[in-house]
Amino acid sequence: MAAAMKASRISGTVRITVSPKVAFDLPSLQRGLKSLAERLGHEGCASGCDILHLLTERQFVIRDDATLGREVFPSASVGLPQDPIPLRTVTVFIPDRVNNDIGLLNKAVDNAMRQLGCAPCCSGFDILFRRWMDAIAINEKAEVAAFGQ
Amino acid sequence: MGNDSSTTCLGVGITYSDSVRPLLESRPELFQVVEVEPQTTWLKLRNATPSYRVDEEVIDRIVATPGRKLVHSIGTPVGGTVRPDAEQLVLLRSTIEILQSPWASDHLSFNQTPEFATGFFLPPRQTSEGVRTAVRSIADLQDALAVPVAVETGVNYLRPRADEMADGEFVAEVVEEADCGLLLDLHNVFANALNGRQRLDDYIDQLPLERIWEIHLAGGMELDGFWLDAHSGAIPDPLYGFAEKLIPNLPNLGAIIFEIFPSFVPVVGLDLVRDQMLRLHELWEKRQPSTERKPTLQSRVSPILYDGAPPAVWERALGGLVVGRPAEGDLAADLSGEPAIRVIQGLVFEFRASMIVGALRMTSRFLMLSLGPKAFRIILNDYCAKTTPQMYAGLEAEEFGAYLRALDLNVPHLAKVVEFELAAMASVVDDKTRVIHFDFEPIPLLRALAESRLPEVIGEAGDYEIAIASDGPIESSGLNLGEVRGAFPFH
């Protein structure tokens, strides 16, 4: 699979656009990236062949519930013939608004406020850091496999 | 609403956070009032005017919660020489109007010196000049806000000092001089008593009870020989018993609020929160609004002039020590012997570290997974020792990002993960589009970190961009379709 990821196969820049709230809300980002990777071909990696897959699919939507679908948007891109290399554009929308799951967006906004705003009044301590440090997963080789679940 | 007017009678409630929202929705009858700490709904922008952003969606959802709303500010404390920030006062007034809060409160503490934020509410200088200092700041609040103001009694982990007033005496002088209300945080006072300061009964005896408009109750925990005002769970039974006896003597009590810190809610569970609310309703029934008001106690007027170090010197000395600066001057040298200093330093560290792992989650995971928890803690300790606290998590994360850039750790692609997270954070705050360039395919790495693991493979080299924008396409451009198809004919 590594051979399928040759940079030489890419003659331009691949751009991924996400909304700030999805980018900052880790569960949303996680679901979105998982859906994207799965849709692109191989779940375990996103590679050159995945990009080919993306090209053939042409249009994707990552909904705010982090599911991926093929939907036609009026502004969906078309091929952009340019010299000297013919360029193609694939468009994936991650809409900022939620039509069918307002609770998810509310949660993303609440998360952003809690994680970026002023800490609530308290003269003790925030247990979040300790919980992060304590949440350690050990794999079958007795190695640390994950933190901060 | 001085001591002569009757308080708006609100009832029982809780401090708002998204962690208690499920209970607010499932048991609305338990909440006659929801207390809002408005700064937790603001985002702070660096080098921008206005420098705060209020998310109207959050405010709308707070408005929709059950019962009346009370505004409890945590950004304009009145116990120190740094006067309340004018920009915050404007926002505060606006929030009070939107939420129709009948009164507003802030802390009789300080969390800012002219040079730096302390990252923690610290006790004011309890002297005659300290009283005048607090009264001046309370007047700022009273002038700026369209509702009456109450001040909250603070926690004080220091030992009592010979050159300061007794805690109750100081509070009484301040509220009488300022002609304001009192938010009696019973758990703060309980913690102070357990930690060797004034006995609870003696403290209450010095207060003008008719000025108590609101009570806070909470749970705490022991740490290193101190009882912490941690807002970590159930109200201790002895404190609840004290409240039962006190409440019938508070003729103008308008609200009883249960405080729990959001991070502890998943630990203790919402059932515990529900049970505490039920207990608060039982306390509310103890009220006797018609009780004759307690006369002013002569002991509230201090015959002694407490001087010594002025408030500004006190704030620099105490504030400097808790943020880890070396003791400078006699007062700082004296305070440096306080056992509480080390404890508060630890609490400040926990707050700062929590803000960082909360805001920079993928960066934190990357550091912990790559270097191990011990190294990550060492890095955080070094960062905290070299910088002073920020009041807003977003700003703290920015500072930590700058520190990591300067540290230039040998962790491949760390700089890009930091850049991505800071850009996402900044775009949440200001809604501006930001583009991050990668010279490798970023999805495997970002996805792995979002899933709390290191990637099995790092994406191959190539030119990639992630644009963080309000709406927008994922665009992959610059691909030579013919070449790609030729390379991977089976797809």
Contact A127 B264 (CB under 8 A): yes
Cis peptide before B389 (omega within 30 of 0): no
**Which residue from B267, B368, B394 is facing A127, i.e. has the nearest CB?**
B267
CATH code of the domain covering residue B175:
3.20.20.150
pLDDT of B416 higher than 80 = yes
**Which residue from A14, A21, A119 is facing B393, i.e. has the nearest CB?**
A119
Looking at A58-62, B208-212, B349-353, which range is the least confident one? Answer: A58-62
pLDDT of residue B469: 73
Decide if B443 is inside a domain.
yes
Residues B184 and B112 in one domain: yes
pLDDT of B151 higher than 60 = yes
pLDDT in tens, A51-105: 333 333 333 334 444 444 443 333 333 333 333 333 333 333 333 333 234 455 4
How much is the ipTM here?
A: 0.74
Decide if B486 is inside a domain.
no
Alpha-carbon distance B150 to B167, whole Å?
17
Instruction: Please check whether residue B355 is in contact with residue B396, taking contact to mean a CB–CB distance below 8 angstroms.
Output: yes
Contact B188 A132 (CB under 8 A): no
Q: Is A90 part of the contact surface with chain B (CB cutoff 8 Å)?
A: yes
Contact B350 A129 (CB under 8 A): yes
Decide if A68 is inside a domain.
yes
Decide if B332 is inside a domain.
no
Residues B290 and B351 in one domain: no
**Which residue from B15, B44, B481 is facing A55, i.e. has the nearest CB?**
B481
Reported pTM: 0.80
> In chain B, which residue's Cα lies nearest the Cα of A114?
B40
Mutate which of B226, B460, B485 to test chain A, going by most A C-beta atoms within 10 A? B460
Decide if A131 is inside a domain.
no
Contact B232 A124 (CB under 8 A): yes
B369 is in which domain, residue-wise? 339-468
CA distance B282 to chain A (A): 25
Confidence tier at B310 by pLDDT (50, 70, 90): very high
Residues B272 and B353 in one domain: no
The residue to which tokens 């207060």 are assigned: B207
Torsion of CA A89, A94, A99, A105, to 10 degrees: -170
Confidence tier at B117 by pLDDT (50, 70, 90): very high
Please list, in sequence order, all residues whose beta carbon lies within 8 angstroms of the beta carbon of residue B374, skipping any fewer than 6 positions away. none
How does DSSP assign B171-210, residue by residue?
HHHHHHHHT-EEEEEHHHHHHHHHTTSS-HHHHHHTS-GG
pLDDT of residue B459: 74
Residues B130 and B249 in one domain: yes
Contact A106 B57 (CB under 8 A): yes
Contact B465 A14 (CB under 8 A): yes
Mutate which of A60, A97, A110, A123 to test chain B, going by most B C-beta atoms within 10 A? A123
Residues B283 and B376 in one domain: no
Residues B116 and B207 in one domain: yes
Contact B261 A6 (CB under 8 A): no
Residues B112 and B176 in one domain: yes
Last residue of a domain, one of B238, B272, B300: B300
Residues of B in contact with A130 (CB under 8 A): 350
Residues of B in contact with A26 (CB under 8 A): 361-362, 450
Residue A90 CB coordination number (10 Å):
24
pLDDT of B466 higher than 60 = yes
pLDDT in tens, B239-279: 999 999 999 999 999 999 999 999 899 889 999 999 999 99
Decide if B318 is inside a domain.
no
Give mean pLDDT, residues B102-114: 96
Residue B278 per-residue DSSP state: H
CA distance A101 to chain B (A): 15
A86 is in which domain, residue-wise? 2-123
Decide if A53 is inside a domain.
yes
pLDDT in tens, B374-406: 889 899 999 999 999 998 888 999 999 999 999
Contact B74 A85 (CB under 8 A): no
Q: Is A138 part of the contact surface with chain B (CB cutoff 8 Å)?
A: no
Decide if A36 is inside a domain.
yes
If DSSP codes are grouped into helix, strand and coil, which group holds residue A38? helix
Contact B261 A126 (CB under 8 A): yes
pLDDT of residue B425: 85
Number of domains composing chain B: 2
Decide if A16 is inside a domain.
yes
Decide if A137 is inside a domain.
no
CA distance B293 to chain A (A): 31
Please list, in sequence order, all residues whose beta carbon lies within 8 angstroms of the beta carbon of residue B417, skipping any fewer than 6 positions away. B362, B363, B366, B445, B446, B449
Q: Is A109 part of the contact surface with chain B (CB cutoff 8 Å)?
A: yes
If DSSP codes are grouped into helix, strand and coil, which group holds residue B97? helix
CA distance B287 to chain A (A): 26
pLDDT, chain B, mean: 88
Decide if A14 is inside a domain.
yes
Residues B136 and B255 in one domain: yes
Q: What is the largest CA-CA distance in chain B?
A: 94
Number of domains composing chain A: 1
Q: Taking CB atoms and an 8 Å cut-off, how many pairs form between chains A and B? A: 365
Alpha-carbon distance B187 to B458, whole Å?
51
Q: Taking a contact as any Cβ pair under 8 Å apart, which residues of chain A between 37 and 76 contact chain B?
A: 37, 41, 44-49, 51-56, 60, 62, 75-76
pLDDT of B438 higher than 70 = yes
**Which residue from A47, A54, A109 is facing B57, i.e. has the nearest CB?**
A109
Q: Is A120 part of the contact surface with chain B (CB cutoff 8 Å)?
A: yes
Decide if B31 is inside a domain.
yes
pLDDT of residue B442: 84
Decide if B113 is inside a domain.
yes
Decide if A83 is inside a domain.
yes
Which residues partner with A95 through β-bridges? none
Residues B267 and B396 in one domain: no
pLDDT in tens, A18-52: 777 667 776 777 776 666 555 544 444 433 333 33
pLDDT of B157 higher than 90 = yes
Q: Is the dihedral of CA B62, B64, B70, B71 positive or negative?
A: positive
Residues B23 and B111 in one domain: yes
Decide if B324 is inside a domain.
no
Residues of A in contact with B372 (CB under 8 A): 144
pLDDT of residue A52: 35
Residue B221 per-residue DSSP state: E
Which residues partner with B117 through β-bridges? B112
